[in-house]
Amino acid sequence: MAQRMLGKKPPKKNLKTLSLAKYLDATALPVAVEKVYREYDVPPGGWQVLMNNELGCCTISAISHMLAMFSEHTGTLVMPTDDEVVAAYSAVSGYVPGSPATDNGAAITDVLEYWQTIGIAGHKILGWAAIDQTNIAAVKQAIQFFGAVDVGVNLPNSALEQNELGQPWSIVSPDGGIAGGHSVCHFGFGSEGTNCITWGARQGMEWDWFEKYCDEAFVVITEDWINQATQQTPGGLDLATLQADLAALRA
C-alpha cells in the first residue's frame, strides 16, 4: 500500500469560529442542485500530494487544495509548494523538519486561523464558519454556495484499503478500526455521494459513509467568492455583518 499519512487532531473549539446559521438561512435557499463537480475545474495532474505522503499535514494540504480551486475559479491557479506547506505545518503544529517525533498533526481550526491571520502562498481568508456536518442538505448547499467545504473525518482502515483499490469510501463491516483523523476538502457532490481531494487525487465518498465518519465541517469566507457588486456571496451571505463580527473577534 502506498504511503498515506493522516494527521487531523480531534475537533478543537476556537472563539473565531462563526456559525454559518447566523448569516445564511438555509431554509430560504433554493434546494441544492442535483450535482456540482468543481473538482474537475483543476486540470488533470493539477492536484498535488503536498507532502501528505510523508507528513501528517493533511490539514494544510486540504486548505492548499481549496486555495487552488478558488484561484482556478477566478482564472489563475495558485497551488502552494511543498516548502510552503511544510512551513505552514511547522508554524501551526510545531513540527520541526527532520524530527519525526514532532510530526503530530494539527487541528483544523488552528489551521483556519493561520490561513486567516498569516496566509499561505500569499493568500488569506476573511474568516470561517462551522456547518452542521450531520445535515447533508446543508453540506450540499455549503458546497454549492461557498465553493468548498473543509471536512474532518475519523478514517477507518477500510477507507485506506478502498483508496488503494480506487474505490469510493463506503461503509463496510468490520471497518478495521479507526486509523486516525484526516482532513479533506469537498468541491462537488451528486445524489449518492461526494468527491473529496486527498493525497493528490479525487476520492469518492458515499453519503452514509460521510454521515458515519465525518466529525466536523467548515466553509471559508474568501474574497474570491464574493460578488463585488452586491458584497454578498451567491448564497446571500451578508458581508457587512460578517466583517463586523470578524473585527469584534480581533479586538
Specify if 183 maps to a domain. yes
- Which residues form the domain of 59? 29-245
Specify if 187 maps to a domain. yes
Specify if 9 maps to a domain. no
Specify if 21 maps to a domain. no
The yes-or-no verdict on residue 1 having pLDDT over 50 is: no
Specify if 11 maps to a domain. no
Q: If pLDDT is split at 50, 70 and 90, which confidence band does 247 have?
A: low
Specify if 14 maps to a domain. no
Neighbours of 119 (CB within 10 A): 13
List the helix and strand counts (H, then E) for the chain.
Answer: 7, 8
Neighbours of 7 (CB within 10 A): 23
What is the mean pLDDT of the segment spanning 40-53? 81
What is the mean pLDDT of the segment spanning 199-213? 95
| CATH number of 70's domain | 3.90.70.10
Cα-based torsion angle of the residue sequence 49, 54, 8, 103 in order, rounded to the nearest 10 degrees: -150
How far is residue 114's CA from residue 100's CA, in Å, rounded to a whole number? 22
Higher pLDDT, 72 or 232: 72
Specify if 5 maps to a domain. no
Count: domains in the chain: 1
Specify if 12 maps to a domain. no
Q: Decide: pTM greater than 0.75.
A: yes
